[in-house]
Structure 1
Amino acid sequence: MMVAIPAQAETIVARSGEHDGFSRLVMRLPDKTNWSLTQSGTTATLKIDRPEAVFDTAQVFNFIPRTRLQSFQQNGAGAPLRIQLGCECELKSYVQKDGYLVIDVRDGKPGQTYSSSSGVLPLGSLAGASGYRFDLTPGRIEQSRTELNLAAALASRAAIVGHSLREPQVQVAPEPQPVVTLPDPVTPLQTQVALDQEEATLPDVNLLLDLDETARAAAVNASEHRLLQQIGRATNQGLLDLVMTEVSDEQVPTMVAPLGIQDRPLNPLDHLSVTTAVDRDMGLMPLHDQGADEKLHCTRTKDLAVYNWGNELPFADQIGPLRSELFKEFDEIDLGAAISLAKTYLYFGFGAEARIVLAMLPPGAANTEVLTALAVLQDGGSLPITHPFAGQQGCDGDVAFWAAIADGAIKSNANAEAIQQTLARMPVHLRVHLGPKISTMFSEKGDEHMAASALRSIDRSGVEEVPDINLAQAAFADLTGDTETMADELKEEVAERTENAPRALMDLITLSFEERKALSPDLPDLIASYELESRDGELGAELRLTEVMALALTGQFQTAFEALENLSEQDGPIARVTAMEPLMTLLTERADDVTFLKYALIFAEQATPKEATPVAEMMTRRLLDLGFSEQAQSLLVKLALEPADETRRLMMAEAALGMDLPHRALVELMGLDGAEANKLRAEALWRNGEFDRAGEYLMVEQETDAAARGFWHSENLDAIEPGEGQFGQVAEVTAQLDVQVQEPDEMTPLAHARALVESSVGTRDSIEALLRGVARDPESSN
């Protein structure tokens, strides 16, 4: 079946397994997903409330025959999955605690129909008891008083006052047992199984029988509805199970104890298998495959044990006999010989040869999909998202190792011990081939212990020339913070000119940028040559980005901007934004003023917000220092959608002052405190002519002389400390001048004239001393 998967589709991979008497489907549901499973005849429908969900059933029939299950169909993303059954089968379903939905397709009796909803299983009926499913209409009650008694016993045991019933408690065993309450976090089932010996007699049943037939039927129907709701929830969680046993060609419901103990006497009502949430979580569910030692969704280790598919004999001695047995009479392919030959190729690491052999097999041959995936991974290829090992890094056994290789990264739920043990079991040639990649992935995850363990496993092999070992050791050095060792390993890999040399060179240049280290002048030319070779390949875009960074590191800014234009044309605006950050960072930090302004002024006007965001603050600081306030403000405006930042607001106020906009500067400084904010606020107030307020802010910052100057301009001489700084002396002289210019009183005309002359001379001398003592202020020269 082919399904068109949209760009944002959420793929749910279905896996399968064949067991005695039933076939099993297992799929991982997204978190907090509601689902329902319904059956009508030989057709079942699985629905989940995810509009983007796509079911991947391509692997199902690799492990099971098309007997109980025949086909699957989904019309599109979010549509229900329609399951076509090949028999009159019974569906049983439950959800494990880790979110895996398990659907069992069990053999049923001919002519028997099943219907389920939201995972609820059919309850069936007791043999010979047609009214057991609480069919308590008045006619039925008249026909069978015994059935009414049974229904009433299940419905309620409480006394009825005023025709009202309390919630029923169900007796499931005759002997006394402790009360088990299922915890909320484990399951939504809100039911309590009470097995109290004192309540086993149900003495209140006769009270229900005293009602008229209509009231009895209504009461029992309400209890039936509540009881079935709880049974449905329990079945949905795998806590209740219906077991059908053949007795004299009839299906009779029987009780299965949670722990498999079935030798005790059975109660007639014990037709359900009851399992507590604790039993379920501890793996004590009454499943028919209790002997299984692996998770249901995990690929078996024996299907992946590459280290067991060969021996120490020479390659030719093992391959030759298998090749001779490949074809039988009439040139027919021997299936067993072909599988053995492919496995031997995989043991020796020949993935391409193994795929050629597997391609000769007919479609649907056993285990070919898994073997093909192993062959691709051994050759360093990549698998689609829905590969055979998807979602299995948390499994025990070898599948965790191959799932990590296929995913290209160690996931948070990965079984690190299983991955490491599988690597240690590999033959030497596969260990040195795959070990560096495992070590690198552990280093990238931040697991120093496992990364070092993988490197030690490679060292114990005794092989001197190990491919990719330099990259693995560089990644480990990066994890431990040893940048010198990392640089040495990368340089060695580049010098060896291996297939990993371009990747090592890009990592080396990136490290030089992060550490702000000098770069060899010939490396930009080397990266350009690799870019020419891989222009249209997978590494092309990354090499072009690294080339821009390398040119900037060596100070070739003009060539770097030319390379940036080439990158923009070939890789688009997103790649341009990524390359712009290191280029403009290095331009701001290392370029001379002329070179910086040549590109920064254009960038300030033409850059998009995405381009400006990473470098706007550092570029604004340098533009303000160079006196380009308008361009600095233009750059800061591009960050309008970014969260408020105190540093950015201070620079915006500084830019406003540079453009002689003191009122705007005061607006930007509203709510800000600190020395820099007070100084900028004082400058803005000064330009507004509010010298007194400016002096107050300067006094807060202990700028006493500047504050005295402000107070002197505002003629607030009382606020100036006498003799405090230069303008303290100015204030004293000013006060003296005020006294000297006053005309003398009550003097004769001649004495008055003499006093005026002396006052004039003294005033002139004081003014001359004042002008000599006060430095000329450039800002007050106007």
Structure 2
Amino acid sequence: MSRAASQGLVTPQMTPTEEKPAQGRHAPPPTGDRAAETAEIPQAPQGPTPPPHLAIDSVTAIDRDQLATGLQAPPEVSGCPPDRYFELANWVDERPAFAQISDARKGLLGEFDAPNPRKVTALARLYIAFGFGTEARALLRDMGKDGPSKNALLFVGAVLDADPTAATSPLAQLTDCNRAVALWAFLAADPLPEKRDVAFAALRRHFEALPADLRRSLAPNLVARLTQIGAADVARSLEPAVSRITTGDRRALDTMEAEIQVVEGDPQASGRLEALSKTNSAQGLRALILWLNSQIDAGEAVDPAALANAEALAFELADAPEAPELRRIAAIGHAANSEFGKAFEIYSDATEIADSKGTLEAIFSRLVGQAGDGDFLRTLYDQLPLAEKAAQTSGLRQELAGRAISLGMPAVAVRLLGQADPLSVQDKTLLARAALLELDPAAAVAHLKDLEGKQIEQIRAAALSRLGRHDEARAAYLRAGNPEGARAQSWHKGDWSSLDAPPDAVEQRFLETFGATSSQRNEVKGGPLTRARSLLEQSQAERETLSKMLDRLALPPVQQ
């Protein structure tokens, strides 16, 4: 019914209403002046009236071609090209491709070598139906007559060739049309549309109407795109259309099923993709990409042999549409295996890598999470310009800066944090930590201005203590929930009367030794030698007491 409607063989029979008279063949006869105006216009002969219970008018293809009926063509969807521009299955017959193309090339040029527009279009359609996008586009550019049909054929040819320029065509925006163009627009769209902006019914309907070979070749890419936008259920519904044409070669169908299994988290997907990746076919290349991506997404080490295969294919297929994705996988895969030098070597020409920004972030994320301290610092210094570029992403910036601070490299952290625009609370907190590490507590206090939170109060208290503002530091420690830190500030200030709890043994000993009552010591009786020995023993006890107290009051590390 859908195909018949698109060819004008079937039209809806609309019942007229009193509020809004129906138009077309079933409209009521005009009256008055309008009747006089329309009386001179010859009317097409009326076709047979369908039975009352049918809601359609239908005619045969012979009647349509002989223009023997007055049926109107179905109205065009606003902005959507008609399906006849994309009915690839109607452009071929059962004969071999070479025979059809040979016949179509006869009479291509007329008198004075002028191209025959009808013949040019017919040959281009044949090329498209057999998947020869490059040949069709070359023919149309040289001999095609400008018009919407030519534009549609050029667009489909670009999609078949996986040419990125297809995404720039206005037709690539029509994914929500309930027409055949929805399928080709979805295959061309870059970036992919939202799920709500895709006419899935039209997409599925016209995919199933494609010639068998095109269904087989387009299925893996179509399924990949559907799964990326969260439409795995639609992707699975396409399997019957591919399985019907699958005989001995199941690679296209297996690739489809494996890709859907990856999205659904099926553990069998990895084994199936690994087996498919070792086949010498387009499906094998797609399976290799899927298999490596599944290992990367899982955070696992990447299979070295498969990674080497991806690098070799990226070099061999340098101009193929899959090459940028293979280079991206190779760069991230080496980073996943902690081979950061090799990863950055591949990334050296970012223009040839798919999603270069995301690739850079993935490499540095693994550098932060996997590299040892020595490898991290060496790589970070070697790739500092790229690290600054990656630091434009807030989460990664804070991870890099935090680890640099923990390794005692505040200057590098400050340089990375300088990429923030604007500074977040976490960025300012890290800047304060870096300032403390650089012995600049005043800058640390400035960075924390107007910020609140226990972690922030802890850093603020440490900075205030270094500035000698012990009363404020004590209050900040109390806000941070650190009574021991607050108690230490009382000792630092020398205000032993403000201790919140009774002194322990060490503190009591200190008070007894150096407190106000310590000067009222009993005179040691005896000669000079006895008094000297007593002074030495007293001095030694004081040194031990002071040493224990200083150890207790040591300033906390910056990392705390």
Match of 1:457 among 215, 232, 241: 241
Do residues 637 (structure 1) and 432 (structure 2) align?
A: no
Q: Could you report, residue by residue, the CA deviation over 1:250-308 in whole angstroms, capped at 9, with x for unpaired residues?
A: xxxxxx99x9555344599x99xxxxxxxxxxxxxxxx997634325443334543334
Alignment partners' CA distance in 2, 1:478 and 1:442: 13
Give the equivalent residue in structure 2 for 1:315.
95
> What is the count of residue pairs matched by the alignment?
487
Match of 2:226 among 431, 442, 445: 442
Quickly say closer, same or farther: Cα 1:366–1:681, change in 2 above 3 A.
Answer: closer
Q: Could you report, residue by residue, the CA deviation over 1:416-444 in whole angstroms, capped at 9, with x for unpaired residues?
A: 11121222344544433333333233222
Give the equivalent residue in structure 1 for 2:199.
415
Contact 1:653-1:668 within 8 A present in 2 as well: yes
Q: Could you report, residue by residue, the CA deviation over 1:569-593 in whole angstroms, capped at 9, with x for unpaired residues?
A: x759x98755432332222222222
Alignment partners' CA distance in 2, 1:772 and 1:362: 96
Do residues 305 (structure 1) and 87 (structure 2) align?
A: yes
Give the fraction of aligned pairs with identical amino acids, expressed as a percent. Answer: 18
Give the RMSD, CA atoms, in angstroms: 5.0
TM-score normalised by length of structure 2: 0.69
Structure 2: stretches of 5+ with no match in the other structure: 1-17, 39-69, 526-534, 556-560
Q: Could you report, residue by residue, the CA deviation over 1:740-776 in whole angstroms, capped at 9, with x for unpaired residues?
A: 53599xxxxx9xxxxxxxxx99998995895586473
Match of 1:549 among 312, 321, 332: 332
Contact 1:657-1:684 within 8 A present in 2 as well: yes
Structure 1: stretches of 5+ with no match in the other structure: 1-176, 181-255, 272-287, 745-749, 751-759
Q: Secondary structure at the match of 1:711?
A: helix
Do residues 581 (structure 1) and 361 (structure 2) align?
A: yes
Q: Secondary structure at the match of 1:433?
A: helix
Q: CA deviation at 1:619?
A: 1.7
Q: Secondary structure at the match of 1:532?
A: helix
Q: CA deviation at 1:709?
A: 2.4
Quickly say closer, same or farther: Cα 1:725–1:669, change in 2 above 3 A.
Answer: farther
Alignment partners' CA distance in 2, 1:593 and 1:290: 76
Matched ranges for 1:160-175 at <5 A: none
Quickly say closer, same or farther: Cα 1:415–1:765, change in 2 above 3 A.
Answer: closer
Contact 1:691-1:713 within 8 A present in 2 as well: yes
Contact 1:708-1:727 within 8 A present in 2 as well: no
Quickly say closer, same or farther: Cα 1:577–1:771, change in 2 above 3 A.
Answer: same
Alignment partners' CA distance in 1, 2:341 and 2:321: 27
Letter in 2 for 1:629: P
Q: Could you report, residue by residue, the CA deviation over 1:594-653 in whole angstroms, capped at 9, with x for unpaired residues?
A: 22221223445x4574343233321211121112223222322233xx232122111111
Pair member with larger Rg: 1
Contact 1:351-1:375 within 8 A present in 2 as well: no
Alignment partners' CA distance in 1, 2:86 and 2:291: 37
Alignment partners' CA distance in 2, 1:575 and 1:426: 32
Give the equivalent residue in structure 2 for 1:530.
313
Match of 1:514 among 291, 297, 300: 297
Letter in 2 for 1:400: A
Contact 1:662-1:688 within 8 A present in 2 as well: yes
Alignment partners' CA distance in 1, 2:101 and 2:412: 76
Contact 2:448-2:456 within 8 A present in 1 as well: yes
Give the equivalent residue in structure 2 for 1:712.
491
Considering fraction of residues, name the structure with more strand. 1
Q: CA deviation at 1:661?
A: 0.6
Matched ranges for 1:372-383 at <5 A: 372-373=153-154, 376=157, 379-382=160-163
TM-score normalised by length of structure 1: 0.52
Quickly say closer, same or farther: Cα 1:335–1:266, change in 2 above 3 A.
Answer: closer
Contact 2:243-2:253 within 8 A present in 1 as well: no
Do residues 400 (structure 1) and 182 (structure 2) align?
A: yes
Give the equivalent residue in structure 1 for 2:468.
689
Give the equivalent residue in structure 1 for 2:406.
625
Contact 1:721-1:728 within 8 A present in 2 as well: no
Do residues 596 (structure 1) and 376 (structure 2) align?
A: yes
Letter in 1 for 2:425: E
Q: Could you report, residue by residue, the CA deviation over 1:53-95 in whole angstroms, capped at 9, with x for unpaired residues?
A: xxxxxxxxxxxxxxxxxxxxxxxxxxxxxxxxxxxxxxxxxxx
Alignment partners' CA distance in 1, 2:119 and 2:463: 90
Quickly say closer, same or farther: Cα 1:385–1:424, change in 2 above 3 A.
Answer: closer
Letter in 1 for 2:516: D
Alignment partners' CA distance in 1, 2:123 and 2:153: 13
Q: Secondary structure at the match of 1:776?
A: helix
Contact 1:390-1:403 within 8 A present in 2 as well: yes
Contact 2:120-2:143 within 8 A present in 1 as well: no
Letter in 1 for 2:488: R
Letter in 1 for 2:459: L
Give the equivalent residue in structure 2 for 1:560.
343
Letter in 1 for 2:413: A
Contact 2:89-2:210 within 8 A present in 1 as well: yes
Alignment partners' CA distance in 1, 2:175 and 2:110: 41
Letter in 2 for 1:664: A
Alignment partners' CA distance in 1, 2:545 and 2:73: 105
Alignment partners' CA distance in 1, 2:313 and 2:132: 27
Q: Could you report, residue by residue, the CA deviation over 1:399-421 in whole angstroms, capped at 9, with x for unpaired residues?
A: 33344345475675332111212
Alignment partners' CA distance in 1, 2:168 and 2:543: 93
Quickly say closer, same or farther: Cα 1:509–1:354, change in 2 above 3 A.
Answer: closer
Contact 1:531-1:543 within 8 A present in 2 as well: yes
